[in-house]
């Protein structure tokens, strides 16, 4: 499945709106090519052009292809003249080669969302039998669940992170307040940023429950029957209504026409500071920056500052925080990531492929950046 996922993602890594480049034939090629099951325009461009991301050139020359993400086995591409590529429709007996369906990536996604404030949300105050934690099959008692009805389902969410720049995030404790001392740690991982803004609070889903009893008859709290056994619930966790469809049913990977400046990796979900393929990262840009679901970024490590031992004295401090002069190394490419959920100022992306781990503070650029 992962191999197929990588292939399907590559089909639509870029759109024709990114930029126009000249077709560069890769030498000899047949006059025609019949699309086979599993082929993509990305694969075909890689085979007959020098650069696979030039696949929009093939689409541009074919007005008959209304959707570049839907090509069919049996379609005949004319390669006799690269600047005027033609297509003849196939028998349409097999399913089209389409976008990335949600089912392909859903196992890797995290139930995360970003809000400006969570202080007004209902919250868990205790559990049956005075337990310290709650899990599937147990009752949790909820304060301020006004307006709810018996049988209504709620997601139990936990405030985990406060996102802001230049410090990318601060861990939150059970009270939803920043953990003392955490800022000193992240200064070692996060490069300075030109942006300086509060971006939102992250809420991580830990459980789902159904309201079985409302407050009243002497009780000041409502009763929530917990259903999901994935995570334990603790006092202080918040409640929000269950979303019927939190994710798009399919994703069309594409590059933004203009990537906002200064977009950084804010965090790696369920990880300390680094992640790889199939990990989820938070980015410091969202809907207000023009980011939408399916947007693809390349993630880059800022060039390191290192000491030049032939011009300065020797030192053991040769890392990203070195600031005593010396040399600046080039930025280094790490991975590609596709956005799957977008909020006003923060978006979540799935790391699809890469050559090295993605770390907190890496910059997000155009997928074809060099």
Residue 254 sits in the same domain as residue 236:
no
The pair of three-digit structure tokens given for residue 181, joined into one six-digit string: 């001392």
Tell me what the pLDDT averaged over the chain comes to. 77
pLDDT of 140 higher than 50:
yes
Q: Which one has a higher pLDDT value, 197 or 18?
A: 197
Check residue 27 and give its pLDDT: 53
Distance CA 279, CA 107 (A): 11
Residue 301 sits in the same domain as residue 326:
yes
Domain membership flag for residue 104: no
Residue 228 sits in the same domain as residue 261:
no
Residue 119 sits in the same domain as residue 232:
yes
Residue 128 sits in the same domain as residue 213:
yes
Distance CA 75, CA 91 (A): 8
pLDDT tens figures, 204-234: 999 999 999 999 888 999 999 999 767 899 9
Check residue 24 and give its pLDDT: 46
Distance CA 252, CA 40 (A): 13
Check residue 55 and give its pLDDT: 59
Check residue 206 and give its pLDDT: 92
Domain membership flag for residue 291: yes
Residue 234 sits in the same domain as residue 263:
no
> Using 50, 70 and 90 to split pLDDT, how confident is the model at 351?
very high
Check residue 247 and give its pLDDT: 85
pLDDT tens figures, 59-113: 555 556 566 666 678 877 766 545 444 445 555 555 544 456 677 777 778 889 9
Check residue 85 and give its pLDDT: 44
**pLDDT over 70 for what percent of the chain?**
66
284 Cβ neighbours under 8 A, 6+ residues apart: 163, 165, 168, 193, 195, 199, 262, 263, 264, 265, 266, 345, 346
Residue 184 sits in the same domain as residue 278:
no
Distance CA 200, CA 185 (A): 20
pLDDT tens figures, 52-65: 555 555 655 555 65
Helical H segments across the chain, by residue range: 2-11, 41-48, 55-60, 102-105, 182-186
Q: Which one has a higher pLDDT value, 186 or 140?
A: 140
The pair of three-digit structure tokens given for residue 291, joined into one six-digit string: 């980011």
Residue 259 sits in the same domain as residue 339:
yes
Domain membership flag for residue 180: yes
Q: Which one has a higher pLDDT value, 336 or 181?
A: 336
Q: What is the DSSP string of 15-65?
A: -TTS------B-S---SEEE--TT--HHHHHHHHBS-GGGHHHHHHT-TT-
Check residue 97 and give its pLDDT: 46
For 5, phi and psi rounded to 5 degrees? -60, -45
Structural domain boundaries, residue 161: 112-241
**Whether the predicted model's global pTM rises above the 0.75 cut:** no
Domain boundary, last residue among 208, 241, 274: 241
Residue 214 sits in the same domain as residue 271:
no
> Using 50, 70 and 90 to split pLDDT, how confident is the model at 334?
very high
Domain boundary, last residue among 241, 265, 290: 241
Torsion sign, CA atoms 130, 134, 138, 141: positive
Residue 328, classed as helix, strand or coil, is strand
Domain membership flag for residue 107: no
Domain membership flag for residue 361: yes
Burial of 114-137, coded b for 16+ CB within 10 Å and e otherwise, reads bbeebeebbbbebbeeeeeebbbe
Distance CA 3, CA 7 (A): 6
Residue 220 sits in the same domain as residue 305:
no
Angle ∠(354,355,357) on CA atoms, nearest 5: 80
For 120, phi and psi rounded to 5 degrees? -90, -5
pLDDT of 304 higher than 80:
no
Residue 267 sits in the same domain as residue 227:
no
Check residue 130 and give its pLDDT: 92
Check residue 83 and give its pLDDT: 45
Q: Taking residues 301-318, what's their average pLDDT?
A: 68
Distance CA 262, CA 165 (A): 10
Residue 22 sits in the same domain as residue 139:
no
Domain membership flag for residue 197: yes
Domain boundary, last residue among 76, 98, 120: 98
Three-state SS string over 275-303 comes to ECCCCEEEECCCHHHCCCCCEEEEEEECC
Domain membership flag for residue 106: no
Q: Taking residues 318-326, what's their average pLDDT?
A: 54
Q: Which one has a higher pLDDT value, 350 or 16?
A: 350
Domain membership flag for residue 105: no
pLDDT tens figures, 156-200: 999 988 888 776 677 787 777 777 766 555 555 555 555 668 899
The pair of three-digit structure tokens given for residue 219, joined into one six-digit string: 């009780």
Check residue 180 and give its pLDDT: 72
Could you give the number of structural domains in the chain?
3
Give the closest residue to 76 by CA, choosing from 90, 92, 63: 90
Give the closest residue to 297 by CA, choosing from 1, 5, 18, 3: 18
The pair of three-digit structure tokens given for residue 353, joined into one six-digit string: 């492929």
101 Cβ neighbours under 8 A, 6+ residues apart: 249, 250
Residue 181, Ramachandran bin (φ over 0: left; ψ between -120 and 50: alpha; else beta):
left
């Amino acid at each position: 499945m992962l191999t197929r996922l990588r292939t399907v993602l590559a089909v639509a890594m870029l759109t024709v709106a990114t930029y126009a480049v000249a077709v560069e034939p890769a030498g000899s090629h047949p006059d025609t090519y019949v699309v086979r099951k599993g082929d993509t325009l990305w694969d075909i461009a890689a085979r007959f052009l020098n650069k696979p991301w030039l696949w929009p050139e093939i689409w541009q020359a074919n007005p008959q292809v209304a959707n570049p993400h839907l090509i069919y086995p049996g379609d005949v591409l004319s390669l006799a003249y690269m600047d005027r590529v033609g297509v003849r429709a196939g028998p349409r007996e097999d399913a089209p080669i389409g976008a990335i369906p949600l089912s392909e990536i859903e196992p890797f996604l995290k139930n995360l969302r970003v809000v400006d404030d969570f202080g007004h949300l209902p919250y868990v105050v205790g559990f049956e039998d005075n337990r310290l934690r709650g899990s599937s099959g147990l009752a949790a008692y909820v304060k301020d669940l006004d307006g709810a009805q018996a049988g209504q389902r709620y997601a139990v969410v936990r405030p985990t992170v406060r996102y802001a720049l230049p410090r990318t995030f601060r861990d939150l404790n059970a009270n939803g307040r920043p953990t003392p001392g955490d800022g000193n740690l992240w200064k070692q991982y996060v490069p300075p940023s030109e942006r300086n803004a509060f971006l939102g609070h992250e809420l991580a889903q830990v459980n789902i429950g159904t309201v079985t009893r409302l407050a009243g008859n002497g009780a000041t709290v409502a009763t929530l029957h917990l259903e999901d056994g994935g995570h334990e619930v603790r006092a202080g966790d918040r409640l929000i209504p269950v979303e019927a469809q939190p994710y798009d049913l399919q994703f069309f990977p594409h590059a933004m026409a203009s990537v906002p400046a200064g977009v950084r990796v804010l965090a790696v979900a369920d990880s300390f500071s680094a992640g790889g393929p199939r990990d989820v990262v938070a980015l410091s840009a969202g809907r207000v920056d023009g980011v939408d679901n399916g947007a693809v970024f390349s993630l880059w490590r800022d060039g390191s500052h290192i000491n030049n031992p032939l011009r300065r004295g020797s030192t053991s401090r040769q890392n990203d925080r070195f600031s005593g002069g010396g040399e600046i190394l080039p930025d280094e490419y790490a991975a590609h990531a596709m956005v799957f959920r977008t909020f006003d100022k923060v978006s979540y992306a799935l790391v699809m492929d890469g050559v090295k781990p993605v770390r907190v503070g890496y910059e997000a650029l155009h997928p074809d950046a060099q």
